[in-house]
Amino acid sequence: MPQIFARKVNALPLLSLAGALLGGVAAVVFVWYYFSPEYTDVGYAPEQPVPYSHRLHVDQLGMDCQYCHSFVKVADISNVPATETCMNCHTVVKPQSLALASVRESWATDASIPWIKVHQLPDYAHFSHAIHTNSGVGCETCHGRIDQMDVVRQEEPLSMGWCLECHREPEQYLRPNEEITTMGYIQSSDFVERNLERIRTEGVHPPTNCSACHY
């Protein structure tokens, strides 16, 4: 009986299997990157109701982060400054500026300025600013060079894997507490040894178990 199909057809099942495997790998890589915080979150820079420039206020005028974000060392949440904080300066600095009309209206009506949150964490993840800043984690470590931003953007993914990098090797990231708000901070040549000594004496042991951040 003559052959109905050529011998090369026998390779089709293997080719189909290889194609399915490659397609599956490609799909995993696609989802792993394009659905990850590195792609979806990093670079997020929403337009705010008031054009506040950190480059002007922090870099040029030398304002400290804690003047506006006064809860960073005492609370889990870093507060957005109240309108009163803005008006401490702007009652005399550019009091008629059109760009600050929303601030003056907020001050007059006692209505909050609808700032848009940039750095989002899911509800199931707990993060304390106070614990981190009092342990030597600088603002710049998580938020990037805020002092060079005219519009605040998310610089780091804030993903679980990204957080665990620091929790597993904190000696690579810590700095002296008095340098927490310093932008462009340069570590000393022996910073790892200093941090290891601090970790030992102060008992700084960032947890890596699930219940530490998810409860």
Residue scoring higher pLDDT (189 or 12): 189
Q: What confidence score (pLDDT) does residue 22 get?
A: 79
Q: What is the mean pLDDT of residues 129-153?
A: 97
pLDDT number for residue 100 = 96
Cβ atoms of 66 and 181 closer than 8 Å: yes
Is residue 103 within 8 Å of residue 90, measured between CB atoms? yes
Q: What does the block give as tokens for 84?
A: 């009163």
pTM: 0.81
pLDDT band at residue 23 using 50, 70 and 90 as cut-offs: confident
Instruction: Judge whether residue 32 has pLDDT over 70.
Output: no
Residue 131: what pLDDT?
A: 97
Confidence band, pLDDT 50/70/90 cuts, at residue 138: very high
Percent of the chain with pLDDT over 70: 89
Cα–Cα distances in Å, from 22 out to 9, 25, 33, 36, 50? 20, 5, 17, 21, 49
Looking at residues 72-92, what average pLDDT do you find? 95
Q: For residue 15, what pLDDT is reported?
A: 72
